[in-house]
Structure 1
Amino acid sequence: MAPASSAMAESNGGVKVMPLGDSITEGTQVPGGYRIGLWQRLASGRYTIDFVGSQYNGPSNLGDHDHEGHPGWRIDQIDANITGWLRTYNPHTVLLHIGTNDVLQNYNVSSAPTRLSTLIDHITTTAPSAEVFVATIIPLANSGQESAVRTFNAAIPGIVQSKVNNGKHVHLVDMHSQLTASDLIDGIHPTANGYDKMAAAWYAALQTVPGSIGDPGGSSSPPPAGGGAIKGVGSGRCLDVANVSQTNGAQVQIWDCNGQNNQQWTLTSSGELRVYGTKCLDVNGGGTADGTGVIIWDCNGQNNQKWRFNSDGTLTAVGANKCLDVVGAGTANGTKTQIYSCWGGSNQKWTRV
């Protein structure tokens, strides 16, 4: 099979999602494959998503053509390239469907689950905050190959669970049961309807993991995994660590947006907002009272360092159940931030930049 074409990456600034796999990800027989129906569902749900990868193909009704699907590739071939792709594209979410060519090529099929486990480890090590969705592979029409598919798939739930037990953000998607041989156009690749069944399964799985595709509505979506600025609606200024300090207890304020690293906030899968990589947006002393200051502190996993973006643009401190607030509804550079009872003012609303 011919390789997918490459082109300049498309981006709408949304949450980065990497479709990862072989020709079934590329969309052989139906260019774009499951990505068409998945994109349409995401758009209808008002999710702002940026598909990423070194490959590019699909029809005009696929709003973003980027992906990492490689026709004919086995697990080991994906594994040989995955670290570089992740570092280049920095996805927040990975959709992995791989193993079909190991079966088709009869390539050490008995050890394919071990190769898959190693690939997942390389993904979670390189992108530890990413949400990794691992699918069982779809059926094959040939009965002998389908038997090998079922044996391979039977090992995947245990692999995924072992990663979860080790604190990794890995999720199982039962893709095999969504299709039958009648959904295959050539005994291997789905028909358009078969690909759409895959799209529905991916979309349902993504909706079960908060943050994996951001929040519907666009402007209140969380920053992408690589970090980004958070701008106050009322002030037009950005959430900023005073004096570019990296000291525990440094005040968080608003300041003219300037792109410096003291204004780059990364939302982790556990709800932290990290700056400088190791410091977290923190409610001082774990306080819950109105007016408690907001600072940075070494990330420690406590609830006073967990935040939730809401569809109305507010940002909730999970431990206190109060909103991130600009003191006195101020708009000047250096105005401090605090937590305060949510009331819907523009000084409690934020957008990512």
Structure 2
Amino acid sequence: MSAAQEPRPRGRRWAAALIAAVLLAAGTVTGTGVAAAESNGGVRVMPLGDSITEGTQVPGGYRIGLWQRLAAGRYTIDFVGSQFNGPGSLGDHDHEGHPGWRIDQIDASVSGWLRTYTPRSVLLHLGTNDILQNYNVAGAPQRLSTLIDHITAAVPDADVFVATIIPLANSGQESAARTFNAAIPGIVQNKASSGKHVHLVDMHSKLTTSDLIDGVHPTSGGYDKMAAAWYAALQSVSGSIGQPGGGSSGGTAIKGVGSGRCLDVSGASQANGAQAQIYDCNGQPNQQWTPTASGELRVYGGKCLDVYNRGTADGTGVIIWDCNGQNNQQWRFNADGTITAVGANKCLDVPNYSTANGVKLQIWSCSGADNQRWTRAGS
């Protein structure tokens, strides 16, 4: 992307999205499909499940109340998924809720969705249709366990919140649901004990059958109870939704001394391979970098500043990539303001001493010149 093609500062784009949401508040947004246009560079959260995630009977479902709580808490969140629905009062309509789908059906597609959207957190409420369809109910806990394994394999740095399913009005189905739910704490504990970022959400106890509109799906009040439970769970796990005020935990801007512009991810992209560049400082999440004890510079929570293809030559490009602990993702801040790429032993460099918006960064033999010197916010 050339400098001329670089989007205007993302703060304006996000403000426009909020205005559009207000204008739509009286109506309902409908339709299905990829809705990446609502991406705002915030922490990616994937609502994953069946019609209760989609919001059958109350379009948008729990996502409405959850979005409103996140916005009120000043969290910058990007709901992600291939599906799209809900009212104008829901600021981001993307999700991965599929009415009528069982655990095995979600499992068949989940790895692809996760590779596409790379969520930082996943909200999983699934299993109701296994009960309703009487589909090998005894095997449902094992299917759920396998699904969780596939999620954690695809996005190992993500926090996965696994909910017990909400009550069902039919007594026989509710009995089966309780048996299924009883297995979930042990499944979650097993994953957590093996080092996976998996967390239990006791959703069943938050609703009663009086919160159901049709014996299966919640009323608007029931969905709001789900929203409150999800919000409390997310707040309890550090980093799962970043920090109030936007971005990922502990992020700060890094400004080029020579240019006066900030280290920035091109196009506010969260895709592997998105290029690092300099751009007008604007405080958005794609300019918030978190140094870690292992030498990483993290952005969006789970992406790292990376030297392309582990290159060591002058002129090798600098990108973002899933954090993996390799030395091409390790950086050292030096006393003279330079930042050394540890694997290549070369410096983060603005080519040709440029100061223009959108100039893509590289590594180069360290010289200490202004185009290789950087300052951190507050330093």
Question: Normalization by structure 1: what TM-score?
Answer: 0.71
Q: In the aligned structure 1, how far is the partner of 2:277 from the partner of 2:34?
A: 38
2:90 aligned with 1:73: no
Kept after mapping to 1: 8 A contact 2:262/2:279: yes
Kept after mapping to 1: 8 A contact 2:339/2:373: no
Matching residue's letter, 1:232: K
1:182-210: CA deviations, max 9, x gaps? 00000000000000000000000000111
2:306 aligned with 1:275: yes
Kept after mapping to 1: 8 A contact 2:256/2:263: no
2:234 aligned with 1:209: no
1:246-301: CA deviations, max 9, x gaps? xxxxxxxx984599xxxx954597x99563542344668xx9xx999865558xxx
Q: How does 1:95-174 map to 2 (within 5 A)?
A: 95-174=123-202
2:198 aligned with 1:198: no
Matching residue's letter, 2:370: A
Q: In the aligned structure 2, how far is the partner of 1:294 from the partner of 1:161?
A: 41
Q: 1:181 to 1:281 in 2, by over 3 A?
A: same
Identity %: 64
Q: In the aligned structure 2, how far is the partner of 1:69 from the partner of 1:4?
A: 13
What displacement does 1:13 show?
1.2
Kept after mapping to 1: 8 A contact 2:207/2:225: yes
Kept after mapping to 1: 8 A contact 2:254/2:377: no
What displacement does 1:12 show?
1.3
Matching residue's letter, 2:106: I
Kept after mapping to 2: 8 A contact 1:223/1:265: no
What displacement does 1:4 show?
6.5
2:373 aligned with 1:335: yes
SS in 2 for 1:128: coil
Kept after mapping to 2: 8 A contact 1:237/1:256: yes
Partner of 1:62: 90
Number of residue pairs aligned between Structure 1 and Structure 2: 282
Matching residue's letter, 1:123: I
Matching residue's letter, 2:84: Y
Q: In the aligned structure 2, how far is the partner of 1:16 from the partner of 1:99?
A: 24
1:72-117: CA deviations, max 9, x gaps? 0000000000011011111111000000000000000001000000
Matching residue's letter, 1:73: W
Structure 1: gaps spanning 5 or more residues: 241-253, 299-329, 338-344, 349-353
What displacement does 1:154 show?
0.6
2:110 aligned with 1:82: yes
SS in 1 for 2:87: coil
Kept after mapping to 2: 8 A contact 1:232/1:239: no
Q: How does 1:169-180 map to 2 (within 5 A)?
A: 169-180=197-208
Partner of 1:6: 33
Q: 1:336 to 1:217 in 2, by over 3 A?
A: closer
Q: 1:268 to 1:114 in 2, by over 3 A?
A: farther
What displacement does 1:11 show?
1.1
Q: 1:239 to 1:105 in 2, by over 3 A?
A: closer
Q: 1:223 to 1:33 in 2, by over 3 A?
A: farther
Q: In the aligned structure 2, how far is the partner of 1:184 from the partner of 1:105?
A: 19
Q: How does 1:253-264 map to 2 (within 5 A)?
A: 256=278
Kept after mapping to 2: 8 A contact 1:268/1:274: no
Partner of 2:262: 237
Q: In the aligned structure 2, how far is the partner of 1:211 from the partner of 1:167?
A: 16
Q: 1:255 to 1:17 in 2, by over 3 A?
A: closer
Matching residue's letter, 2:212: L
Kept after mapping to 2: 8 A contact 1:223/1:266: no
Q: In the aligned structure 1, how far is the partner of 2:70 from the partner of 2:369?
A: 35
Matching residue's letter, 1:43: A
SS in 2 for 1:19: strand
Q: 1:25 to 1:58 in 2, by over 3 A?
A: same
State the superposition RMSD in angstroms. 3.5
Kept after mapping to 2: 8 A contact 1:129/1:268: no
SS in 1 for 2:370: coil
| Greater Cα shift, 230-239 or 19-28 | 230-239
Q: How does 1:302-313 map to 2 (within 5 A)?
A: none
Q: 1:130 to 1:143 in 2, by over 3 A?
A: same
Q: 1:26 to 1:85 in 2, by over 3 A?
A: same
Question: Normalization by structure 2: what TM-score?
Answer: 0.66
SS in 2 for 1:333: helix
What displacement does 1:8 show?
3.0
Q: In the aligned structure 1, how far is the partner of 2:111 from the partner of 2:59?
A: 26
Runs of 4+ off more than 6 Å: 290-294
